[in-house]
Structure 1
């Protein structure tokens, strides 16, 4: 296929399919065992918040995503797209037509083949067939972008956007058939928010007394579901992005969480002395967040700065009767709503009728307690 100085590929030149004016486009069907020897993967698209969230979904859904991407490439529905680091020589076999032209492409062996689209699919294929050597002879379609004479750079951004859109569509398609979206979003949030990622017990629904964790998957799932209760009008991907932003912002104002990460204090001590890692309080933060996002969708992040001044220790009398009953964290829904109403009042948000009633009952109870003493 090649001599000592160059690769020679039998290709089809596709006129008008390079997606920019800086390159010519060629296609070739090539066995995987040859392809893997040619390709480099040192091109990295620009990282955006949307891409980070989508990548987290891809990680959680990796088995399903990789299966679909792999099948698309193996069935020639999608192509692997590469760019060359330098120009190449095309020698036509046939006369040029309006659409395509057969010929051979001579490429210096010093030229780099850089994957700019289809790397995920390629890796999925390699992972899937690594134990079946004969499958390396399977041929897939490779699209090669060659810089035109006088052009030093190929515009990769159009492929970034195209692959980003295609992957988003694929994830949304998989999500539309996913029966446990709330659980999936919670897993993505845990992956994205550092205190959750490092301090969440994924396996247990409750934490053992000597656990090194602060949270459970179930508590984050319930709290995030409450947070997104009013967000059914946006996509699952957008819901996850919003939840990540909210919990990331909340975590900035919870210094005790970070102290556990830095091993300045144990998780058990924080659970014993503070309320803010317990499931009912997280749920209250979710209820409160839902109201804040609805009432102030523009400035909610700035307004959350107010929670930096809250005393979350159990010794704070504000939590008595609200989240602590007879010295223990209350698991009642009403306690979570009372946490939410406290936070709403702090930020000047309106209470729901149910929250208003609970606040009145709490005040009456406290008054009776004071009079009794």
Structure 2
């Protein structure tokens, strides 16, 4: 009678110990990821799942990142639990190499992802478009499955202290996005922003000497060059530098801080133009201004000197402030943008007209 030999997945591995339990670190070819790693189905009750439901909207974005940056992408390790008998074979009996070897995982084992299900789904999607990625590898941390309770606790522990970096820090370290590069250069090279831009945090503390955040400058510049991203980088940079330099000339409060006449903290307390909503609104206005007055936009910006930025001005209540406090909601951004457009003589969009009517009726 013919015997059937057991079939195994075999991975080169390093064995370690955490909380008295063995675990294994290995490298897995991308082409194997969709085949051997499972994740719980979304229609299962969360009490009997060991992870969150897959957010399918995230998968194409991650897959495109992998495809478009196949020469310099970075994926962190996948963490998974093996429900099956794992055999670790040391490289040798030498104590130095005793924790280096291979693990043999029966193909009948259930391998469930504890952390990395979106990476797994994105890898599967990317391989359909770029199968040559299949021979590349991703690091995997294998734990032995000790049941649902342990898997759920692992998920909670793996995500307990996960904190996304701030928007400003992401922009500071992002060299793929041309708008991020322009925002960084503005913060260093344009006199208006140099020394007054918070490079790491997305909010500014009361005592800070900074007036702008890199994330606010990025968003404002992104609004300024909206839909122009297909133009050459140097042209986008020139537009950005020129626009913000001209804007800066006509906002005396910003210059007072730059010259050391007024503290940034005092401006934040008393003026709306010391907050990110104004910077972003000016970016949105700039996009329309350059289209409406392509030859005279610099002259038109002189009208910014007519704006009364004082936050105690009743005109701003409901438009920028709610109960005297700055509100950076989408509707408030629309209303501030429309207010600046009216000063500069730029026609309002349908959305802005509707927001103005709603504001008037509520007053």
TM-score (norm 1): 0.49
Q: Which residue of 2 aligns with 1:252?
A: 249
Checking the alignment, whether the CA contact within 8 Å between 1:323 and 1:330 is kept in structure 2 is: yes
Contact 2:220 2:279 in 1 (8 A): yes
Match of 2:322 in 1: 325
Residue 234 of structure 2: aligned partner: 237
Q: For 2:336, which of 336, 339, 342 is the aligned residue?
A: 339
Asked if 2 retains the 8 angstrom alpha-carbon contact of 1:186 and 1:217, the reply is: yes
Whole-Å separation in 2 of the counterparts to 1:323 and 1:236? 33
In the TM superposition, what is the alpha-carbon distance from 1:178 to its structure 2 partner? 4.9
Partner of residue 281, structure 1: 278
Partner of 1:358 in structure 2? 355
Q: What do the CA deviations read for 1:174-218 (whole angstroms, capped 9, x no partner)? A: xxx952222111111222321211211112111111101111000
3-state SS of the aligned residue for 1:286? helix
SS at the partner of 1:260?
Answer: helix
Distance 2:258 2:298 in 1: 24
Match of 1:234, SS? coil
2:251·2:305 contact (CA, 8 Å) conserved in 1? yes
Structure-2 change in CA distance of 1:295 and 1:230 (3 Å): farther
For 1:264 and 1:307, locate their aligned partners in 2 and report how far apart those are by CA, in whole Å. 21
| Structure 2 residue 293 is the aligned partner of structure 1 residue 296 | yes
**With CA pairs under 8 Å and 6+ residues apart, which has the higher RCO, 1 or 2?**
1
CA RMSD of aligned residues (A): 1.5
Question: Does the 8 Å CA contact 2:312/2:324 hold for their aligned counterparts?
Answer: no
The CA distance in 2 between the partners of 1:283 and 1:298, in whole Å, is 23
1:253-312: CA deviations, max 9, x gaps?
111112112222211000000011211111111111111011111111111011111111
Partner residue in 1 for 2:204: 207
- TM normalised by structure 2 equals 0.51
- The answer for the alignment partner of 1:223 in structure 2 is 220
Aligned to 1:188: 185
Size of the aligned set, in residue pairs, is: 190
In 2, distance between residues paired with 1:184 and 1:343?
A: 27
Which secondary structure does the structure 2 equivalent of 1:276 belong to? Answer: helix
Q: Is the 8 A contact 2:289 2:346 kept in 1?
A: yes
Distance in 1, Cα, partners of 2:259 & 2:279: 22
Q: Is the 8 A contact 1:211 1:267 kept in 2?
A: yes
| Partner Cα separation in structure 2 for residue 192 and residue 342 of structure 1 | 30
- What SS does structure 1 have at the residue aligned with 2:304? helix
- In the other structure, the counterpart of 2:91 is none
Superposition misfits of 4+ residues, deviation over 6 angstroms: none
Taking the TM superposition and a 5 Å limit, the aligned residue runs for 1:80-99 are: none
What residue in structure 2 maps to residue 42 of structure 1? none
Consecutive unaligned residues in structure 1, runs of 5 or more: 1-176, 367-373
Unmatched runs of 5 consecutive residues or more in structure 2 = 1-173
**Separation (CA, whole Å) in 1 of partners of 2:268 and 2:360:** 27
Aligned pairs for 1:1-373 (under 5 A) are 178-366=175-363
Please say if residues 338 and 358 of structure 1, whose CA atoms lie closer than 8 Å, have aligned partners that are also in contact.
yes
1:197-254 Cα shifts (integer Å, max 9, x gaps): 1211112111111101111000000011001103234211111110111111111011
8 Å Cα contact 1:227/1:289 also seen in 2: yes
SS at match of 1:314: coil
Aligned equivalents of 2:206, 2:200: Cα separation in 1 = 15
1:285–1:339 contact (8 Å) kept in structure 2: no
CA distance in 1, matches of 2:207, 2:227: 37
Q: Do 2:289 and 2:297's aligned partners in 1 also have CA atoms closer than 8 Å? A: yes
How far apart in 1 are the matches of 2:344 and 2:262?
Answer: 30
